[in-house]
Amino acid sequence: MDSDTAQQRLQQENHRFAGTGGVSAGNVEQGFRPAFRDSETRRVFPSCFADGRAAPFHMVDGLPAEAVEARDARGRVTRIKSTVVSGFVRDGRFYTREEASHAVQTLH
């Protein structure tokens, strides 16, 4: 998946889950952190800026090599594996956006 497609997918997901615990703004107070999971390997990757700092939202440029299919000459991600999905981590558990949205509803 190229980065434009990944960015478009993230924007669509943010729009779909706007106002719910399925976006960072709706779940950060409950301890959720943006992350990605490779559904093939089950590895979870916290969302990071390219320099490794934790990102407060989903960033593909901070994904490790095993989740990335291609980068441009400046190191920016141009394609991620199709099996990589966005979600959140809380207390060591990965939640899809939908799962995070439901979890936040039950925490209120």
Task: Please tell me the predicted confidence (pLDDT) of residue 3.
Answer: 59
Residue pair 31/42 in contact (Cβ under 8 Å)? The answer is no
Q: Within 13 Å and on the Cβ side, how many CA atoms surround 84? A: 27
Task: Please tell me the predicted confidence (pLDDT) of residue 2.
Answer: 60
Which residues touch 87 (CB under 8 Å, ≥6 apart)? Answer: 34, 35, 36, 37, 94, 95, 96, 97, 99, 100
Q: Convert the pLDDT of each residue in 38-82 to its tens digit.
A: 999 999 999 999 999 999 999 999 999 999 988 888 888 888 899
pTM for the model? 0.90
Task: Please tell me the predicted confidence (pLDDT) of residue 9.
Answer: 82
More confident residue, 71 or 32: 32
For residue 16, which amino acid is it? R
Tell me the mean pLDDT in the region 17-22. Answer: 95
Domain residue ranges in the chain:
3-107
